[in-house]
Amino acid sequence: MMARRGFGKGVLGLLIGAGAILLPGCGSPLPDAFRYRMTVEVDTPQGLIEGFAVREVRFSKMANDGNYGRARGEAVVVDLPNGAVLFALLTGASGNVDHASQTMWHIFRTTASKSIEVWPNFEGKDMPITSGRVPMLVTFDDLDDPTSVAEVDPDDLAASFGEGYALKRITVQITDEPVTTGIEERLEWLDSRIGSLVRRPAGVPIGEMPKAQRLSKSAFRSGVKK
């Protein structure tokens, strides 16, 4: 199965509302609501496979005159030919829960390119740390068991999926395509899950748990109704 397309026929105008978000010292302003498409490409023994997801980011004013971004959308799903599934989450590789909104806004404002490569090469400014701009990648030993989640190293997909598997590229671009939905059809436990994917053992600080185990369902879907 190749990339999934977002359901629905609605088209979002890239300029939603009259406002634009521009913080002091920043580059060109972005509209206060925009959509972007994230595409993940993987080299496999059977050739190049890709998956994508379209997400929407909306900003709202905070009491301190700051701006808060919220993402609506879901993880990128890449179906691999060996039967495994790779997910590129709304959460960042560093554990940043605002990756799909604030980090993406920061990436888009630093470059005028229509298509931006966030991995392995990045031509924008002010983001020297790779883990800051890359989404967290995970897989499951069993899609029906959320506790079987495991983080995937973008530099070493072969460790998770076998020889011949390598992450080729992750790109993002502004789009007016419909927001992608339907991930709950793949992860049937998503709607009933409460809290982190793995329960914290008694006496173990949450910071000592693997990052993937601390994830909640919001890393896979946010603001999208079934």
Q: Where are the domains of the chain?
A: 20-222
Q: Report the C-alpha gap between 30 and 91 in whole angstroms.
A: 21
Angle at 41 between CA 43 and CA 53, to 5 degrees: 150
CA-CA distances (angstroms) from residue 192 to 56, 83, 100, 216, 223?
24, 25, 23, 11, 15
Lowest mean pLDDT among 30-39, 121-130, 209-218: 121-130
pLDDT recorded at residue 131:
60
pLDDT tens digit sequence for 60-69: 655 445 556 7
pLDDT recorded at residue 12:
37
For range 149-159, the mean pLDDT: 96
Note the pTM of the prediction, 2 decimals: 0.82
For range 3-29, the mean pLDDT: 36
